[in-house]
Amino acid sequence: MEKNNAFFNQVYELVARIPPGRVMTYGQIARVLESAYSAKIVGYAMSRAPEVLDLPCHRVVNRLGEMAKGPMFGGEDSQRAKLKKEGVKFKRDGRINLEKSLFQP
DNA sequence: ATGCTGACAGGAG
DNA sequence: ACTCCTGCCAGCA
């Protein structure tokens, strides 16, 4: 990985600690990293995340419990199925039940 | 160096 | 419940 930048590394490390069946929001991650970076930076870090790190980026969602709209994880449905398979609770809207699946370090 | 963008969040209408 | 506006900070052209 060429980008050994601190923020990216921080985010990667934290995301890597998210256990199966749990998810985190971008804002939550930003807060855990201590007030610093905005949620956007977290998302940006994910977008540039080296796949060799094998980051469970599909466990990172926005505050609505929804995943990114574009075809970034191989399709939103694909990510949703993945999370569901890991035991993440979904509401009938198709959104994640953050109350039950939010991972708090 | 300057400005725009971005896998977002939070408040207000 | 929804939509719109603003703030956030690093990366990139």
Residue A24: C-alpha distances to residues A1, A4, A45 (Å): 24, 23, 14
| C1’ C1 / CA A2, Å | 44
Q: Which of A45, A57, A61, A67 is catalytic?
A: A57
Active site residue A57: yes
Residue A70 CA to residue A98 CA, distance in Å, equals 21
A8-37 residues near strand C (Cβ < 7 Å): 8, 36-37
Residue of A69 and A17 predicted with greater confidence: A17
Residue A26 CA to residue A22 CA, distance in Å, equals 14
Q: What is the mean pLDDT of residues A31-43?
A: 83
Residue of A69 and A29 predicted with greater confidence: A29
* Res A2 pLDDT > 60: no
pLDDT for res A86: 95
pLDDT for res A35: 62
Q: Is the CB of A48 under 7 A from strand C?
A: yes
pLDDT for res A1: 45
In sequence order, what are the beta bridge partners of A61? A25
Name the pTM for this structure: 0.89
What confidence category does residue A28 fall into, taking pLDDT thresholds of 50, 70 and 90?
very high
Contacts of A96 (CB under 8 A, 6+ apart): A23, A61, A65, A66, A83, A88, A89, A90
